[in-house]
């Protein structure tokens, strides 16, 4: 068969809306077998050379390609390389008689989605094709979601269109352009770490390190050495010098998460670092210049901590030149549908599934108070996908506490 006959479309009745598969193989018998195996569910186009396949890509806009490797003239791998270089992103299933690991690895490296050796069962072919088309559809949905979120209430990895979230995003955007210290307030799970990261990403320091320290997770005996480092011999086991987070973040940002849990001795040293822009390693005597921006976060009421003698007032004023407050999720429930959709698609993509929320399930999410905030919502939707096996998340797939709406006792127990 020559190039002039290379492209033939086979379409059964009622083919509108059917996915199109382009079969690229120089052997007529192979093309015939693949077409017969798939034409009941898909529209099939054929090409017997790479040149004909190029024309078919333009004319047919296929959703998936079945591509042989050994063909006269330009082989399948060269055609695949050209496809990806030209920006054609359709999934490609290699269907070849070549059964070598080297060939398969090279095909996958060039952008093939899967590899089948000729001699396969037809049901296996149908399953591979179905899976690849589902994944491609899911990726398109995720791309559309990302584009929509980019214009509808997204700040980095954070999502929200409510007034409270918009205020936080707008203030964070403005402060990112400065070098001021920032204090982020909010309950656990509201996304304080994500906001800190995005402020850094939009700042003049974005090309430099962003180093986070969870002050609540480090015992009092370790936090000082983690922040400021230590000299060799500073304590038993200090066999060599170690730089702390302030030095490692040179020209970048140090994020002091849960600064309200920091002990008073370390608070004094952080204050000194902010005032003098120098630190001293544990066991050292020489001041070391540091150039870092400090962003802090806490779920605690720092003025109350100051009154109780647990937090230094002078440090408070140093770290809160600008304060950004993230509302609890129960205070901006209007964002739950958008958040739920984003998290559901994120988890579904990772699991290779498609899923949507039943209206009743969304209503349950909106009734619940979410003591764990956005983090709890994200985890609840992941759990629902694991438990629920259908294409739609039903109320019974949600965690029991969400269905019962008993968030208040949980929140009281945490205080």
pLDDT tens digits, 3-42: 333 334 333 333 346 899 999 999 999 999 999 999 999 9
Percent of the chain with pLDDT over 90: 71
User: Does residue 407 surpass a pLDDT of 70?
Assistant: no
pLDDT class for 153, splitting at 50, 70, 90? confident
- Burial annotation 54-87 (CB, 10 A radius, 16+ → b, else e): bebbeebebbbbbbbbebeeeebbebbebbeeee
Cα distances from 126 to residues 39, 115, 123, 134, 229, in angstroms, run 11, 13, 5, 12, 59
3-state secondary structure 387-413: HCCCCEECHHHCCHHHHHCCHHHHHHH
The whole-number average pLDDT for the span 381-409 is: 85
Half-sphere exposure of 108 (CA within 13 A, CB side): 9
Sign, CA dihedral 90-91-94-100, equals positive
Tokens encoding 92: 């490609």
Whole-structure pTM value: 0.64
pLDDT class for 306, splitting at 50, 70, 90? very high
Q: Which domains are seen in the chain, by residue range? A: 3-138 (3.40.50.2300), 160-327 (3.40.50.300), 331-414 (1.10.8.60)
Kind plus residue range of the DSSP H or E element containing 175: helix 163-176
pLDDT of residue 355: 85
């Amino acid at each position: 068969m020559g190039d002039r006959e290379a492209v033939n479309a086979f379409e059964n009745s009622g083919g509108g809306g059917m996915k199109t598969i382009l079969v690229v193989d120089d052997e007529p018998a192979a093309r015939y077998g693949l077409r017969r195996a798939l034409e009941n569910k898909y529209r099939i186009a054929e090409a017997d050379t790479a040149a004909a396949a190029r024309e078919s890509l333009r004319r047919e806009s296929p959703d998936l390609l079945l591509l042989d490797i050994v063909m006269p003239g330009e082989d399948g791998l060269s055609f695949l390389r050209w496809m990806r270089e030209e920006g054609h992103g359709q999934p490609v299933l290699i269907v070849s008689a070549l059964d070598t690991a080297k060939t398969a690895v090279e095909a996958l490296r060039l952008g093939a989605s899967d590899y089948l050796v000729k001699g396969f069962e037809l049901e296996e072919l149908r399953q591979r094709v179905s899976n690849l088309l589902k994944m491609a559809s899911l990726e398109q949905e995720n791309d559309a979601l990302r584009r929509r979120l980019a214009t509808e209430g997204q700040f980095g990895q954070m999502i929200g269109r409510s007034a409270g979230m918009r205020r936080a995003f707008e203030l964070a955007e403005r402060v990112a352009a400065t070098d001021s210290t920032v204090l982020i307030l909010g309950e656990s799970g509201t996304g304080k770490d994500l906001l800190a990261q995005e402020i850094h990403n939009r700042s003049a320091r974005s090309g430099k390190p962003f180093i986070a320290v969870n002050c609540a997770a480090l015992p009092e005996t370790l936090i000082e050495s983690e922040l400021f480092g230590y000299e060799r011999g500073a304590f038993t086991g200090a066999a060599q010098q170690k730089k702390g987070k302030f030095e490692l973040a040179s020209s970048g940002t140090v994020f002091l998460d849960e600064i309200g849990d920091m002990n008073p001795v370390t608070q004094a040293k952080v204050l000194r670092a902010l005032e003098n822009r120098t630190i001293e390693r544990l066991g050292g005597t020489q001041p070391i210049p540091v150039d870092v921006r400090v962003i802090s976060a806490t779920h605690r009421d720092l003025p109350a901590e100051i009154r109780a003698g647990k937090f230094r007032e002078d440090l408070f004023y140093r770290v809160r030149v600008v304060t950004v407050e993230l509302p609890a999720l129960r205070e901006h429930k209007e964002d739950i549908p958008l958040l739920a959709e984003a998290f559901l698609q994120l988890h579904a993509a990772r699991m290779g599934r498609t899923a949507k929320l039943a209206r009743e399930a969304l209503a349950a999410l909106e009734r619940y108070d979410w003591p764990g905030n956005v983090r709890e919502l994200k985890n609840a939707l992941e759990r629902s996908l694991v438990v629920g096996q259908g294409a739609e998340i039903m109320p019974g797939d949600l965690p029991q506490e969400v269905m019962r709406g008993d968030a208040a006792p949980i929140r009281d127990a945490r205080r």
